[in-house]
Amino acid sequence: MFDKNNLHHAYFIEGKKESIYPALLNLLKKDLGFSSVGNPDFFYREFDILKIDEAREIKIYHELKSVSADSHRIFVIYANSITVEAQNSLLKVFEEPFPNTIFFLLAPRNNFLPTLNSRLMKIELATTELDIKTDSEIGENDEKSKKKMILKKTVKTVNYEEIAEEFLNNSVKKRLEITEKITKNLADEKITKEEVISFIDFVAVKCHKKLDKDIKSAESLKSKDLLEKILFIRSYLFGRSPSVKMLLSYLAI
């Protein structure tokens, strides 16, 4: 379906998230050789209602440099609905994204403004051809896989945006306590590395907001320093055996 030499800048896929999202990931891997697993150039966000503030955060994240110069940057956004203000805010970035950046907008129905629709190429996915592992394929003796499946079902959802806000508004001592807790939860398999990335991304978004307010203020200079640290951390976090504790401690100091 996707031609590497003739890619559109923004696509729309209509349907239920449970079907179209896995199908899209399969297609990206098959046609573009792009894997979302452990990939710092993959961005996914899910919204009940995508509002203007969330649209601005997407635009801010879009401006961050990619980790790999040779890879695409893929943005997948699922929203049950999008406010008119948010749609207008996303027009420019959908029309002229940064080089090698592709947006996929997923929704249960197309009720977008004509101006937004004009920037999107609608595609339909064969959602019946999914590569989903069953319990038998995982293996009855694979206790580790079973444990991970149970954790995914029972773990409480964490609001990393609130944690990022708390992180930025506290002392170095409190920041280190926050990162130590995140590191411990990762070691205990209560959270995934992708959730650690989510926390870091929210810190980056909030730093960008502070820079936009007053680029010359002392607070903005601190935010600029944090953003430089984040770019460094993200480039190392996807190595073979990164020290997450060391990297997060570096961010906190």
* Weakly modelled stretches of the chain, pLDDT under 50: 128-156
pTM (two decimals): 0.56
Residue 225: the pLDDT is 79
pLDDT at 105: 96
Compute the CA torsion angle 235, 172, 168, 210 (nearest 10 deg).
-80
Contacts of 253 (CB under 8 A, 6+ apart): 172, 175, 176
What distance in Å separates the CA atoms of residue 13 and residue 15, rounded to the nearest whole number? 7
Based on the number of CB atoms within 10 Å of its own CB, is 140 exposed (0-12), middle (13-18) or buried (19 or more)?
exposed
- pLDDT of amino acid 214: 57
Q: pLDDT value at position 140? A: 43
Determine the pLDDT at residue 77: 95
Could you tell me the residue ranges of all domains in the chain?
10-122, 138-252
What CATH class is the domain 10-122? alpha beta
